[in-house]
DNA sequence: GACTGGCACTCGAAACTCGGGAGTGCCAGC
DNA sequence: GCTGGCACTCCCGAGTTTCGAGTGCCAGTC
């Protein structure tokens, strides 16, 4: 067990880096000879073999079977991401493509849709974008519309441009005058409030109404409260599932669980994790993921929103053998551009 | 060529039906012996072989290779769907499951989301649901909200409960009083109007404003017009992509084009086709589809909405060798329940 | 001590062979 | 018109062989 604490020297790290890069490019186990041929390591295959034996001992690479080349382990990728690579910055052309893709969005939905598409396209992975969190935004406007005499539609517009709707069924026909009254009182009480604080303000609104009207008002208030909290957090957009075809074979084991996970937005939220600011990239590799179906999968995510606090998270899901430097660069760049668009000019 | 017009007798049709049912169940070419064993056709394998030869001559079945069993062609499925099968009605338990799945939806988005999920679950195929078409609905309410001094949010609420949003950027700071004025005039002019007719009403609204304000009003009107038309039609929800794993192998050829098509909502809209009333089921089999990537795929779709006119279309996409009677039954049933939910009780 | 060339060994992938069996078409007979 | 019989076809899977990339180890060199 002495070997475990041994410090890996510079060249061994070079070898690991070469292995990761090669494997990512070819998706085939890489042997000592090929490695020396393709990267100019300045040493002989035999030497590389020794280094590889050491790296395997440390758990950074592994052999699919005896007498095959090596492939990186999760730990190998982790070391690569943390120490051996630098996030690639995009070319000016790519940057331009991003911004031209995002301008012209007509509303928040459109921004999110375009972002998903863009992210999927440039990373060639599955893209996931969370809608701006409600809890950090404030009330811009509340609208109450009568659909039928016994059916109301509540519309909540937040400072982030997100629009939430709720249908409320009532037992008795509602009075238009009362609705108008309610609408104005709600807006007076709520406009500008943070959603998290709005709950208390809502209660006091109820009390300003005459007792006979209380049940109706209470129903509406309850519905609004719902809109303020749980449900809203969960909205997510997914795109680029067709990129899963590039996973290679072993469809059943690799692709199926991913497709299943993509249907479960709760799982996706866990995958994306806590929102961070756009400077910080979260990378989860293989088994580090909180969902076992994605053991052959990595997630690259980051927050977006204003500089001071992140509104929500976006990222991609792809095979562990992805091109981390490029992918991370793309995710970060997209997050920054979206933040800009949302902050407006 | 005489054979082409020959009328297939009763037993040959029985044989075709048996072949389709067997192939759908096993996904393996079916031979004369197996067929006689499994279905009690009352004749010998040799006789069935003669019938099969005739059916192949007519183009309803084919052999993957010499000395293998037969599989149905697109034409075979077509005949099966048109003449040889009856749409399966759901069991009471299933019906109950459907309605309990759909009640409790909080808004239109929620209805659509739940419908997609439900449809995918009971058909075990990929489900597609189009949002209620805007053109057939009318304006319930228009809201204009100031986000920042130079940024307005338009919210359009339709009679079908659909909520459209549009962001409008202005060159100058806008006057709150003007906005309030605009809001009320817009609502007076538009509320109750069909979206298709709203365009003309909008123009007249512009003219009621003083010339200095016209540019701003025009910008808003333009944006509203957009919301009334194109973009809105295209909304679609997709779910159940994980069911694609059951397509069997030949992933590259079968699954990839489907995944790609699912990303292209324009293609999906074409696939779903014209909205019909919930009584009429549209089935497109294999090459009948307007998209060549889906040559091994069938689409079962129908309209939903009120009895008199369909609001939009929903349906499923699956391999041509699907269980048509059950699938068609499920699609029809879901469409009816959704129609009910939307029409309300 | 670190690196290298050489060498025997391992073992999966691909090519090949081959028999079994499901399925067919045809034909003569009932 | 249906049936049993029969010769024929040809895919599939199991078993076998070959091939070669890759390895670990060792003795030799700088």
The closest of B322, B249, B311 to B115, measured between CA atoms, is B311
Phi, psi of A189, rounded to the nearest 5 degrees: -75, -35
Count the Cβ atoms, other than its own, within 10 Å of residue A62.
16
Q: Given this model, what pLDDT does residue B345 score?
A: 41
Given pLDDT bands bounded at 50, 70 and 90, which one contains residue A159? confident
**pLDDT tens, residue by residue, B323-334:** 999 999 999 999
Are A62 and A74 in contact by the 8 Å Cβ rule? The answer is no
Q: What is the pTM of this model?
A: 0.88
What is chain B's pLDDT, residue by residue, as a tens digit (345 residues)?
444 444 568 889 999 999 999 999 999 999 999 999 888 888 899 999 999 999 999 999 999 988 889 999 999 999 999 999 999 999 999 999 999 998 888 888 889 999 999 999 999 999 999 998 877 788 888 888 888 888 888 888 888 888 888 888 888 888 888 888 888 899 899 988 888 888 888 888 888 888 888 888 888 888 888 877 755 567 899 999 999 987 766 666 788 899 999 999 989 999 998 777 777 899 999 999 999 889 999 999 999 987 667 778 999 999 999 999 999 999 999 999 999 888 764
Residues 15-34 of B with CB under 7 A from strand C: 29-34
What is the C-alpha separation between A279 and A224, in angstroms, rounded? 34
**Of all nucleotides in the shown strands, which has a C1' nearest the CA of B52?**
C24
Residue A254: closest C-alpha in chain B: B245
B69 CB inside 7 Å of strand C: yes
Residues 38-67 of A with CB under 7 A from strand C: 42-47, 50, 65-67
Contact A251 B252 (CB under 8 A): no
Q: Looking only at Cα atoms, what is the longest distance across chain B? A: 90
Which chain A residues contact residue B259 at CB under 8 A?
241-242, 244-245
Q: Which two tokens stand for residue B319?
A: 């391999």
Are A54 and A5 in contact by the 8 Å Cβ rule? The answer is no
Are B305 and B70 in contact by the 8 Å Cβ rule? The answer is no
Rg (CA), chain A: 26
Residues 165-194 of B with CB under 7 A from strand C: none
What is the C-alpha separation between B16 and B55, in angstroms, rounded? 8
DSSP B114-132: HHHHHHHHHH-SEEEEEPP
**pLDDT tens, residue by residue, A182-224:** 888 998 999 888 888 888 888 888 888 888 888 888 888 888 8
Q: Given this model, what pLDDT does residue B27 score?
A: 92
Q: Exposure string (b/e) for A223-246, b if CB count within 10 Å is 16 or more? A: bbbebbeeebeebbbbbbbbbbbe
B5 CB inside 7 Å of strand C: no
What is the C-alpha separation between B233 and B133, in angstroms, rounded? 6
**Of all nucleotides in the shown strands, which has a C1' nearest the CA of B50?**
C25
Are B92 and B210 in contact by the 8 Å Cβ rule? The answer is no
Contact B245 A262 (CB under 8 A): no
B35 CB inside 7 Å of strand C: no
């Amino acid at each position: 067990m002495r070997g475990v604490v041994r410090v890996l020297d510079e060249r061994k790290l070079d070898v690991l880096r070469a292995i990761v890069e090669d494997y990512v490019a070819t998706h085939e186990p890489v042997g000592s000879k090929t490695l020396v041929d393709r990267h100019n390591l300045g040493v002989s295959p035999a030497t590389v073999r020794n280094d590889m034996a050491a790296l395997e001992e440390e758990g950074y690479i592994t052999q699919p079977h005896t007498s095959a080349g090596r492939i990186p382990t999760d730990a190998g990728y982790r070391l690569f991401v943390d120490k051996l690579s630098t996030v690639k910055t995009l070319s000016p052309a790519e940057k331009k493509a991003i911004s031209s893709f995002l301008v012209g969005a007509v509303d928040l939905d459109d921004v999110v849709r375009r972002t998903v598409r863009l992210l999927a396209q440039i990373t060639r992975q599955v893209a996931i974008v969370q809608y701006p969190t409600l809890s950090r935004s404030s009330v811009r406007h509340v609208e109450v519309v009568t659909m039928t005499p016994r059916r109301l539609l509540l519309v909540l517009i937040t400072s982030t441009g997100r629009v939430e709707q709720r249908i409320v069924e009532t037992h008795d026909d509602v009075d238009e005058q009362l609705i108008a009254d309610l609408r104005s009182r709600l807006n007076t009480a709520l406009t500008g409030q943070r959603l998290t604080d709005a709950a208390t303000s809502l209660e006091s609104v109820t009390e300003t109404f005459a007792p006979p009207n209380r049940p109706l008002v209470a129903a509406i208030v309850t519905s609004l409260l719902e809109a303020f909290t749980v449900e809203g957090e969960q909205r997510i957009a997914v795109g680029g599932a067709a990129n899963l075809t590039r996973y290679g074979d072993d469809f059943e084991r690799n692709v199926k669980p991913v497709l299943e996970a993509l249907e479960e937005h709760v799982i996706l939220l866990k995958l994306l994790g806590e929102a961070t600011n756009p400077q910080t990239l979260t990378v989860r590799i293989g088994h580090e993921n909180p969902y076992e179906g994605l053991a052959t999968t990595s997630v690259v995510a980051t927050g977006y929103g204003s500089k001071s606090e992140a509104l929500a998270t976006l990222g991609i899901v792809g095979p562990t053998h992805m091109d981390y430097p490029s992918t991370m660069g793309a995710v970060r760049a997209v997050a920054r551009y979206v933040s800009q668009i949302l902050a407006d000019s």
